[in-house]
Chains A and B, each alone.
Chain A
Amino acid sequence: MTVDLDKYAKPGKSYYIALGLEGSANKLGVGIIKHKLGQLSDSNRAEVLANIRDTYVSPPGEGFLPRDTARHHRNWVVRLIKKALSVAGVKGTDLDCICFTQGPGMGAPLQSVVIAARTLSQLWNLPLVGVNHCVGHIEMGREITRSENPVVLYVSGGNTQVIAYSKQRYRIFGETLDIAVGNCLDRFARTLRIPNDPAPGYNIEQMAKKGKHYVPLPYTVKGMDLSMSGILANIESLAADMFSSKGGKKAVDEETGELITPEDLCFSLQETLFSMLVEITERALAHVQSNQVLIVGGVGSNERLQEMMGLMVRDRKNGSVYSTDERFCIDNGIMIAHAGLLGYRMGQITPLDNTVCTQRFRTDEVFVEWRDD
């Protein structure tokens, strides 16, 4: 890597500080990051000054609606920013830039956060940097794990993509053809009325640990892409039979004859979905002849997924899996600050007129100027 990251450094200042605002779904995150001059390396790592998050939790059986989520973000954004600044011990005027999520995500929450970003920018006279949410996840994962050039599995409530870097773009090798894996888990949690606190996916993971019997479900990998809507419909109908008061046909395990429990369903759903994810990741690894995997996104904090990925990688020479914990896996402000700051250091500034956010913003549209390997 020979990109000069310090072309736009302020004279006399030996570091950069950026504030990141994230609000593309039900998490509102504010992060403050510090980069010292020079290339990021093992000895010159990005420093997390503050990473604060507040999650909008909807009642069991319900998802988060854009309107309510946007209201939550509007109510909390000022408090979170103030708290982040005091945790980090910096003033608004110490910052170099304000980074915000420009997309992809839900429209209403994105818009309420971008308004906060624009206000701060004009208040403190700082440039704005629009950040692609997916690129934020990838860059933060790379920085935390210090993995060099991994194949990235990005799995969250709204996205499921297998990504590999090539010629200054993060290219999508495989992705979901319909719903995202987190969405599939969340909606199943709603069917089973599993609480949304702290996260539906986390609660499914805990229930799945108690599951014993595997219920056959469709397995739909199409080349490097996958499809999950059919699996959801299938398992929802199984769950509906289970809770039907009419005493309809209840599913039993074929071998033992025992009744299938909700825990078994959670277990089966996880096993099926994660097998598919690991398979397409393995295909991408073989395709680009890499042996490193980085898992990012909310579902990436699932320990079973990490374990399965480890088992897959063990059969490849010198393979390794990198993953982060919930602080960096689940949507957060610090990743937006980090990716935004990388863009800022290359002079990628978003003029106020162009700060309109978009629900659809593909990972491969971003010009990754800060890498040239």
Chain B
Amino acid sequence: MTDRLVDEAKLLLRNVSFQIVSQGAEALVFKTNIHPYFNDDQDESSYIIKYRPRKPYRHPKIDKSITKSRTIGEVKFMFKLAKAGIRAPRVVSTDYFNGIIWMEHIGYSLPDGKESTLKNWLWYLEKVRGESLSEEVQRICVEVGYLIGDLHLNDMIHGDLTSSNIMLDKKGPALIDFGLSSYSALPEDKAVDLYVLERAMNSTHADYASEYNSWLLKGYEKAHSDGHYSKQANKSFVEIIKRLEDVRLRGRKRSMIG
């Protein structure tokens, strides 16, 4: 991460002290204890600031419109998640002109000091405690699958499901990072979403991926058969799984032989 980007962020977030959490291709993520508009010294909760920096290579007009539309898109998606009761950080404030989203912080610090993403938690269990297939892991994986099932039943697509985009805390799992999200009712899009997660689990948790994936799917199925949604939910689950098998066969990248 270059200091220029951090300096720019400091200029936009004057009087706000923050720590850097991560830098992706598109955005920087900070953590702060300061609420954007309440001034309550008793408030101990922390917030996440997601900042999309200006891209100097883009024409200023392109840059402005992209930053704005993506920030708004993400905020809207998070708002819809909140309405649908799907766990994700709640939006506190947004400055779409400067590409800043201020949101609730979900998660805690694991004993090894890392943020409690599903990835870090599983790695912690794999490496430090050597109990990767405990009942607790199974329970959490099923809950994550249930959460994704809920998401898809609302015809919402995350677009970048990986174990590092799932946060854990006492209340259970929550989804984060909706930069690539979209809306779709097609089994194809849902199956691709699941396939992306499956691939991510295979590459980041290679040793136990098959167990994790089967538990995730179990939770995903449970969401569809729970009866919260219409009776068609079961049917659509069958369709999605059938499509997932097709997607697995062709891969995301179709081969173009012959």
Interface residues of A (CB under 8 A from B): 172, 175, 214, 216, 219, 223, 271-272, 274-275, 278-279, 282-283, 285-287, 307-309, 311-312, 314-317, 358, 360-362, 364-365
**Chain A, Cβ-Cβ closest to B258:** A360
Point out the residues of chain A lying under 8 angstroms from B23, CB to CB.
286
CA A317 to CA B24, docked complex, whole Å:
13
The majority secondary structure among interface residues of chain B is: loop
**A156: shortest Cβ distance to chain B, in Å?**
16
Tally of A-B Cβ pairs under 8 angstroms: 68
Complex interface residues of chain B between 44 and 90 (CB less than 8 A to chain A): 53, 55-59, 61-62, 65-66
Point out the residues of chain A lying under 8 angstroms from B58, CB to CB.
271, 275, 278, 308
How many chain B residues touch the partner (CB < 8 A)? Answer: 26
The answer, among B2, B26, B257, for a CB contact under 8 Å with A360, is B257
In the complex with contacts A360-B256, A360-B258, A278-B57 CB distance below 8 A: yes
CA A278 to CA B66, docked complex, whole Å:
14
What are 27 A-B pairs with beta-carbon distances under 8 A? A172-B253, A214-B61, A219-B65, A223-B159, A223-B160, A223-B180, A271-B59, A271-B62, A275-B55, A275-B58, A282-B26, A283-B25, A283-B26, A308-B57, A309-B57, A311-B57, A312-B55, A314-B56, A315-B2, A315-B4, A315-B53, A317-B1, A358-B258, A362-B253, A362-B255, A364-B253, A365-B255
A272 x B62 contact (CB < 8 A): yes
**B230: shortest Cβ distance to chain A, in Å?**
30
B159 x A275 contact (CB < 8 A): no
Interface check B125, CB cutoff 8 A: no
**A165: shortest Cβ distance to chain B, in Å?**
16
Complex interface residues of chain B between 179 and 216 (CB less than 8 A to chain A): 180
Interface check B240, CB cutoff 8 A: no
Interface check B5, CB cutoff 8 A: yes
The majority secondary structure among interface residues of chain A is: helix
CA A314 to CA B255, docked complex, whole Å:
35
B159 x A285 contact (CB < 8 A): no
Interface residues of B (CB under 8 A from A): 1-2, 4-5, 23-26, 53, 55-59, 61-62, 65-66, 159-160, 180, 253, 255-258
Kindly name the residue among B2, B4, B58 whose own CB sees the greatest number of chain A CB atoms within 10 A.
B58
B5 x A216 contact (CB < 8 A): no
**B10: shortest Cβ distance to chain A, in Å?**
16
A214 x B57 contact (CB < 8 A): no
**B199: shortest Cβ distance to chain A, in Å?**
12
B25 x A275 contact (CB < 8 A): no
The answer, among B1, B25, B59, B180, for a CB contact under 8 Å with A282, is B25
B2 x A358 contact (CB < 8 A): no
Point out the residues of chain A lying under 8 angstroms from B255, CB to CB.
362, 365
Point out the residues of chain A lying under 8 angstroms from B253, CB to CB.
172, 175, 362, 364
**A171: shortest Cβ distance to chain B, in Å?**
9
**Chain A, Cβ-Cβ closest to B53:** A315
B159 x A315 contact (CB < 8 A): no
**Chain B, Cβ-Cβ closest to A270:** B59
**B219: shortest Cβ distance to chain A, in Å?**
25
B66 x A219 contact (CB < 8 A): yes
- For the complex of A and B, 8 pairs with smallest distance between CB atoms: A286-B25, A311-B57, A360-B256, A308-B57, A283-B25, A271-B59, A282-B25, A275-B58
Point out the residues of chain B lying under 8 angstroms from A175, CB to CB.
253
CA A5 to CA B66, docked complex, whole Å:
48
Point out the residues of chain B lying under 8 angstroms from A216, CB to CB.
61, 65
Point out the residues of chain B lying under 8 angstroms from A278, CB to CB.
57-58
Point out the residues of chain A lying under 8 angstroms from B5, CB to CB.
315
Point out the residues of chain B lying under 8 angstroms from A279, CB to CB.
25, 55
A214 x B59 contact (CB < 8 A): yes
